[in-house]
Structures are given as structure tokens and as C-alpha cells.
């Protein structure tokens, strides 16, 4: 019996769900439906450009896409180009794996001043996301990063590194040029928690020691603190290559109170652990305190952590659990939701025969796997020295590269 499953979103959660279903559900045919012309979501547009080891999981996901029982349908925005109801009527089951990309707000005065940049917007720009490719953030010589998680550390590396430090990355050329034109000289990283409460991966902090010409100053680190976070910060203090190119100042136990400025942000006022106000002059503030939901297509009143939203409708990854967890955790979550789906189908014991679920896409300018591979070949072939790809950042250019493959979805997945 053939079972047709659509997965909305081709990032880690979506690809891992497809992988789990291929292993556990005989006769399954999977269609990965993606809003962008290209696959892999967070891996392509969220993981930092200089973390190619993490991005290498895309090779595993590409094997999922090339499986004979999987089809990729890109450039289709479910809810805009096609309704969720139409998708559900065409497939036996639909899994929402759209992730979350709305930045959490600080909720303080001055947050909407020019020069205050949510980290999601900054990292999407730095990764060449087509939605923000022509909207470069305001870059200046003094910056404040609010947050003490992994995204905050990603922002520190992005702003503190010299252009030569991005050799071997896929940092887009326009991003490298913008960063080099106005190099950051002073960077304050402030979080409300103590060192042992910091949510960064200690290995990511140790990695900062490799930044040439950087000096690190850490306030709030107790000699009695035996946490892994404290050990990583001590490693940074011991191994840093002191220089005068950029100074990075870590502040723990600092809570943001307000931002001040006339035409744009000029100062952030924090309260330290004693309640004393600590003003920090700056030209740019990057807020890196996470993302929030609900996910696109998931009802606002959906039960927390509900993998099953309705009969034949599921959600997975951040769309299910909220913005927490790493790429490996997405794999575990995908297995759980795939198990729910398989159990439901087995309980149903029969499934309608759907000879051509792709009819719902036929009038849309969708990209397919061949189109993605054409883009991939172009990016690899035209990469500049020191870069592994020349990432195409404009949606129209992406579609132009994939154009020979547009609207060639015929029949069942090949």
C-alpha cells in the first residue's frame, strides 16, 4: 500500500522526519514542501558560516532528497501559494516542520530605536537569506550583544573576526565586504544570568580564543565557580591572543533596563547583580535572546508539545517544542513524531489511493531537486578563493538558475 506524506519544511526537523519514515513505513512516498527555492532551512541559513562541520549534515539530508521515494518541491509557501487544507486533501498525512524565526522581544523601552537589531535578522543576512539579502544591518565600531546563548556567541564571532578568519566558510561576499568596511573595535556581551546559568556551549566559547587580534575581558567570573561555562571562560582568558584590533567584554548578571538615544540607539542601561545601573555607550545593539512562536500553520491554541494536531496532521521540531534544542535533538524529535504518524496509519489500517498528489502544485512555479542541484553546482563552481561556495542571495537569481526545472513535477516522486 502506498502512503503519501507531505512534510512542510526541509530543514533538520523535516529531513530527519523523512529519514525516519523511510526506515519505518514501507511503501511511503514523501514530498518535502519548502517556502524557499532551496532546501535545508536552518542548516543553510541559520548555522554560522564559519561552522562548516555543523553544516556538513546537509550531505546526509541531500541523500534523503535523492531517495527514489522522496520529492522536493521548493518555492511553495503553504498558506499563501497553496492552502494547508488543499495540501491535506492531497496527501494521507501532513507534517509541519517550519521551525521558528520570529525573534523574542526584550520588552524594554527603546527597543524599537534604529540600530537595535534582532539576532535572527542579523544571522539571516550573514547567511545570505533571500528575504533579507538587500537589507544590510547598520554596522558600527561599538556594539552590544544581549544574551548568553550560542546565538550570542555566533554574533560575537561574526562581528569580532577579521575577514581572513572566514577562509573556508560560505560567508557571502557582500557580507564580508560590509563587515570589513566598518570593523567592530569594542563588543560588550551582556546576559542577565550568572556564569553557571549561561546557555552557551563551552566549546563555542573556547573557540573564541582563536580570533586573532582580540582581547577578552570577563566580569562576573568567580574563582569558586566549577561549572563547564566557567572553565571555558578561564580557557579563553588563558589562551586568548591579546591584540588591539578588537576588545570583547563579557558581563554576567547584567539585566537590560532600557535603551536610550535620539535618532538611533546611543546607550544601553543595565542593572548589575547589586541593582546598580550600568550604562554602556554603543552604536548598535544585537538582541540574541531566542525565538518565539507559534510556528506558521500551527494553531495558536495547539497543546504544548503536541506532535499530533489533528487526524493526519502533525508538527515536529521547533514547530512542536518551541525554539530549543540542537540539530541532533531534532533527529530524536523526528523519530517520536514519525512514530506517532506510523501508529495512526496502522490503526487506520487502510489509506485512500492517491495516484497523483502533486496535482496541487502543477500551477505553481515550484523548484525541484534538479533545480536545487543546478544552484548548488553554480555556487560551488563560482566560489571565490577562500570560500567553499558563492552563495546566491537573491530569490530571482535562485529561480533563474533553477528555471529549466520549474514546473516539471510529474506524477509520483521519481
pLDDT for res 352? 58
- Reply yes or no on whether the pLDDT at 194 is more than 50: yes
The pTM for the full model equals 0.93
User: At 255, is the secondary structure helix, strand, or coil?
Assistant: strand
* Residue-averaged pLDDT of the chain: 92
Distance between CA atoms of residues 161 and 214, nearest Å: 8
* Lookup: cell for 60: 546526509
Please spell the DSSP secondary structure of 387-403, one letter per residue: BS------HHHHHHHHG
Q: Phi-psi bin for 137: left (phi > 0), alpha (psi -120 to 50), beta?
A: beta
Stretch 262-268: mean pLDDT: 96
- Reply yes or no on whether the pLDDT at 304 is more than 70: no
Stretch 374-386: mean pLDDT: 95
Please spell the DSSP secondary structure of 94-141, one letter per residue: EEE-----EEPP---BTTTSTTEEEHHHHHHHHTT-TTSTT-PPP--S
Q: How confident is the model at residue 211 (pLDDT cuts 50, 70, 90)?
A: very high
State how far the alpha carbon of 123 is from the alpha carbons of 157, 172, 240, in Å. Answer: 11, 12, 25
Stretch 44-66: mean pLDDT: 96
Stretch 165-176: mean pLDDT: 93
Distance between CA atoms of residues 141 and 60, nearest Å: 39
Q: How confident is the model at residue 303 (pLDDT cuts 50, 70, 90)?
A: confident
pLDDT for res 113? 96
- Residue range(s) of every CATH 3.40.50.720 domain in the chain: 3-100+293-405
Q: Of all helices (H) and strands (E), which one includes residue 5? A: strand 3-8
- Residue range(s) of every CATH 3.50.50.60 domain in the chain: 103-290
Among the ranges given (12-21, 151-160, 299-308, 334-343), the one the predictor scored with the smallest mean pLDDT: 299-308
Q: Which CATH superfamily is domain 3-100+293-405 in?
A: NAD(P)-binding Rossmann-like Domain (3.40.50.720)
State how far the alpha carbon of 161 is from the alpha carbons of 166, 248, 255, in Å. Answer: 8, 11, 26
Percentage of the residues of the chain whose pLDDT score is greater than 70: 95
Task: Count Cβ atoms within 10 A of the Cβ of residue 164 and give its class: 0-12 exposed, 13-18 middle, 19 or more buried.
Answer: exposed
pLDDT for res 412? 36
Gyration radius (Cα) of the chain, Å = 23
pLDDT for res 414? 29
Q: What is the length of the chain? A: 414
- Helix/strand/coil percent split, the chain, to 5: 35, 20, 45
- Reply yes or no on whether the pLDDT at 348 is more than 50: yes
Stretch 255-284: mean pLDDT: 97
Distance between CA atoms of residues 287 and 152, nearest Å: 8
Q: How confident is the model at residue 405 (pLDDT cuts 50, 70, 90)?
A: low
Closest among 99, 122, 95, 121 to 41, alpha carbons compared: 99
- Reply yes or no on whether the pLDDT at 367 is more than 90: yes
Please spell the DSSP secondary structure of 210-253, one letter per residue: G-TTEEEEEES--TT--SHHHHHHHHHHHH----SSEEEEEEES
Q: State the angle between helix axes of 57-65 and 12-24 in degrees (0 to 180), rounded to the nearest 10.
A: 50
Q: How confident is the model at residue 1 (pLDDT cuts 50, 70, 90)?
A: confident
State how far the alpha carbon of 1 is from the alpha carbons of 26, 70, 148, 356, in Å. Answer: 8, 16, 50, 15
Stretch 79-86: mean pLDDT: 96
For residue range 111-128, list pLDDT tens digits in order.
Answer: 999 999 999 999 999 999
The reply to whether CATH 3.40.50.620 applies to domain 103-290 is no
End-to-end CA gap in the chain: 17
Higher-pLDDT residue of 21 and 353 is 21
Task: Count Cβ atoms within 10 A of the Cβ of residue 377 and give its class: 0-12 exposed, 13-18 middle, 19 or more buried.
Answer: exposed
- Reply yes or no on whether the pLDDT at 411 is more than 50: no
- Reply yes or no on whether the pLDDT at 281 is more than 90: yes
Amino acid at each position: 500500500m502506498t502512503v503519501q506524506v507531505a512534510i512542510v519544511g526541509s530543514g533538520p526537523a523535516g529531513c530527519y522526519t523523512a529519514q525516519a519514515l523511510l526506515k519505518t513505513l514501507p511503501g511511503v512516498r514523501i514530498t518535502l514542501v519548502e517556502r524557499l527555492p532551496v532546501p535545508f532551512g536552518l542548516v543553510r541559513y541559520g548555522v554560522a558560516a564559519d561552522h562548516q562541520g555543523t553544516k556538513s549534515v546537509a550531505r546526509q539530508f541531500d541523500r534523503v532528497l535523492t531517495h527514489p521515494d522522496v520529492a522536493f518541491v521548493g518555492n511553495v509557501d503553504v498558506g499563501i501559494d497553496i492552502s494547508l487544507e488543499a495540501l491535506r486533501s492531497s496527501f494521507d498525512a501532513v507534517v509541519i516542520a517550519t521551525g521558528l524565526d520570529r525573534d523574542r522581544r526584550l520588552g524594554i523601552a527603546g527597543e524599537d530605536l534604529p540600530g537595535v537589531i534582532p539576532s535572527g535578522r542579523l544571522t539571516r543576512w550573514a547567511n545570505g537569506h533571500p528575504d533579507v539579502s538587500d537589507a544590510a544591518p547598520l554596522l558600527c565600531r561599538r556594539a552590544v550583544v544581549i544574551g548568553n546563548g550560542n546565538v550570542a556567541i555566533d554574533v560575537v564571532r561574526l562581528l569580532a573576526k577579521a575577514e581572513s578568519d572566514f577562509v573556508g566558510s560560505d560567508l557571502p561576499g557582500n557580507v564580508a565586504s560590509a563587515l570589513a568596511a566598518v570593523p567592530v573595535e569594542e563588543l560588550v556581551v551582556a546576559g542577565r544570568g550568572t556564569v553557571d546559568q549561561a546557555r552557551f556551549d563551552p566549546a563555542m566559547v573556547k573557540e573564541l580564543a582563536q580570533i586573532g587580534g582580540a582581547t577578552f575581558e570577563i566580569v562576573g567570573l568567580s574563582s569558586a565557580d566549577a561549572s563547564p561555562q566557567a572553565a571555558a571562560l578561564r580557557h579563553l582568558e588563558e589562551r586568548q591572543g591579546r591584540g588591539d584590533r578588537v576588545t570583547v567584554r563579557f558581563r554576567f548578571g547584567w539585566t537590560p533596563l532600557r535603551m536610550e538615544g535620539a535618532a538611533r540607539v546611543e546607550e544601553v542601561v543595565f542593572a548589575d547583580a547589586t541593582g546598580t545601573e550600568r550604562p554602556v555607550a554603543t552604536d548598535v545593539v544585537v538582541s540574541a535572546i531566542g525565538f518565539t512562536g507559534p510556528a506558521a500553520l500551527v494553531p495558536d491554541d495547539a497543546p504544548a508539545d503536541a506532535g499530533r494536531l489533528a487526524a493526519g496532521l502533525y508538527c515536529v521540531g521547533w514547530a512542536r517544542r518551541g525554539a530549543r534544542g540542537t540539530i541532533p535533538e531534532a533527529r530524536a524529535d523526528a523519530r517520536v513524531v514519525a512514530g506517532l504518524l506510523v501508529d495512526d496509519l496502522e490503526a487506520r489500517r487502510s489509506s485512500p489511493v492517491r495516484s497523483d498528489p502533486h496535482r496541487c502544485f502543477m500551477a505553481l512555479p515550484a523548484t525541484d531537486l534538479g533545480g536545487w542541484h543546478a544552484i548548488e553546482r553554480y555556487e560551488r563552481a563560482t566560489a571565490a578563493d577562500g570560500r567553499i561556495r558563492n552563495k546566491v542571495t537573491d530569490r530571482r537569481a535562485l529561480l533563474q538558475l533553477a528555471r529549466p526545472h520549474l514546473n516539471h513535477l510529474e506524477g509520483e516522486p521519481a
